[in-house]
Chain A
Amino acid sequence: MTRRAVITGIGVAAPNGLGAEAYWAATLEGRSGIGPITRFDPAGYPFRVAGEIGDFAAAQHVPSRLIPQTDNWTHLGLTSAALALEDAGADPAAFPEYEMAVVTASSSGGTEFGQREIERLWSKGPSWVGAYQSIAWFYAATTGQISIRHGMRGPCGVVCAEQAGALDAVGQARQLIRSGTALVVTGGTDASLCPYGLTAQHSNGRLSESDDPERAYLPFGVGAAGYVPGEGGAMLVTEDADDARARSAPVVYGEIAGYAATFDPRPGSGREPGLRRAMELALADAGMSAGEVDVVFADAAGVPELDLSEAAAINALFGSRGVPVTAPKTMTGRLYAGGAALDLACALLCMRDGVIPPTTGVTELAPGCDLDLVRGAAREARVRAAMVAARGYGGFNAAVIVTKTDQRRSRWHRSPRSPSTT
């Protein structure tokens, strides 16, 4: 029988909460982590607000040997991965090392670290550039450090597809589980809120220049004028459903039931962007109809024409106001490689508790964005399946569908709010 990839652990590092439960509580309450940029003085730059993780002390979560060797983005990845493993009750020492793998997404690599080293290069000279620059900046650094720390020596990798990357990573993780890998740490983080990183991001023309944290990022809303960047993300522990049952995993959040990725046609071609096709292919991959999806976590670009095209894609599949849509990333900003990973974590918690978190800030839908956008407050709902959609700058599209694991086939399923009686 085909091995089925389920998610048994969630680790979160988000601007509005460190740890899955802190993040989830904040998200349900509509508590935002977006605020004025404090990491540096943004006075000379055209951006003012961001989703910074304010209260993160790397020394509390990351081995001191690794701190000077790695970028903040890797610190957040190591932290999330450890939290996810702890949540899964999975002790890496109990698994054969070549049967564990790490597949993460990265969008910027170690930008903040790199900026520090470039500053040393230009102000003091080449001999002041640290040896660790060689390993801290590159996209695979987080995957590598997680792999080394936990002794996971199976097929590891990194995916770079901007905001869509984490869904591609999860798709790869599912493939690894199917082909026999016992456990995969997957997801993504990003942390590029330094002048160098933000200047690079700003070149896409999509960053919000608003200084009002509550009105800077309004996807699908009247007044949408770009997105707010943030840092952080999530890591997930995936394993085969039967393996998880065999080791009595404490929680099974859901199954990775469908995944697909597409690429946009070249700019100016006049052809439809690839997002709808990614959603459609993910449904087909899951063997599901649109009617079986209970909520869509939108990409939510916050750029009017991109919002319109996403709304059109959703409505083409689900019908006008045919499915609840939400964008809790309005409380964190777009986290690039971490964004879709955090959305997946959010979708799994949404299924667990039967409540859809709100999209904050948006008071009035933009004309043409005719969506059932969950706003104002969280909405209780029976959620058996959730779709996460993501678009990465440069033409990447991906969609993942997670489903609640079959209660009949998994009587061992327990969640904090619905303890199993078996």
Chain B
Amino acid sequence: MAQITSFTVDDLKETMRTCAGVNEAVNFDDDIADVTFEDLGYDSLAVLEMAAKLQNHLGVVIPDDAAEQLPTPRALAEYVNVRLAG
């Protein structure tokens, strides 16, 4: 069943850019949806920061434990999406 997608990896990129910056070695125009945050240069603190920003701006609750289990931009975007839709 098709799900209404209201939060995309591109939206997430914007959050990543503003709250955690971009690693010099990473090109944000590339398809980074399935590259792990670790490989993108974001440590656990950066992921917590992004999760907190999304939570505040979208009203989606992302517990710290859950954030730690979301390894890639696609996983994080989908987590947000499901909860936005719900």
Interface residues of A (CB under 8 A from B): 63-69, 124, 127-128, 130-132, 134-135
Q: Is the CB of B20 within 8 A of A68?
A: yes
A68 surroundings in chain B (CB, below 8 A): 18-21, 49
A131 surroundings in chain B (CB, below 8 A): 45-46, 48-49, 52
* Complex-state Cα separation, A68 to B49, whole angstroms: 10
Given contacts A63-B24, A127-B55, A127-B56, 10 further A-B contacts (CB under 8 A): A64-B22, A65-B23, A65-B41, A66-B21, A67-B21, A68-B18, A68-B19, A130-B49, A131-B45, A132-B49
Contact flags (1/0) for B9-28 with A, using CB distance below 8 Å?
A: 00000000011111110000
Of listed B22, B23, B49, residue having the most chain A CB within 10 A = B49
Total interface residues on B, using CB and 8 Å? Answer: 15
Interface residues of B (CB under 8 A from A): 18-24, 41, 45-46, 48-49, 52, 55-56
Sample 11 A-B pairs with CB under 8 A, ordered by A number: A64-B21, A65-B23, A66-B21, A67-B21, A68-B18, A69-B45, A69-B46, A127-B52, A127-B56, A132-B49, A134-B45
What 6 pairs across the A-B complex have the smallest Cβ distances?
A65-B21, A64-B21, A131-B49, A131-B48, A131-B45, A64-B22
Q: Is the CB of A63 within 8 A of B21?
A: yes
Q: Is the CB of B56 within 8 A of A128?
A: yes
A66 surroundings in chain B (CB, below 8 A): 21
B46 surroundings in chain A (CB, below 8 A): 69, 131
* Complex-state Cα separation, A131 to B48, whole angstroms: 7
A61 vs chain B, min Cβ distance (A): 13
B54 vs chain A, min Cβ distance (A): 11
For residue B18, which residue of chain A has the nearest CB?
A68
Q: Say whether, besides A65-B41, A135-B45, A130 and B52 are in contact (CB < 8 Å).
A: yes
B52 surroundings in chain A (CB, below 8 A): 127-128, 130-131
A65 surroundings in chain B (CB, below 8 A): 20-24, 41
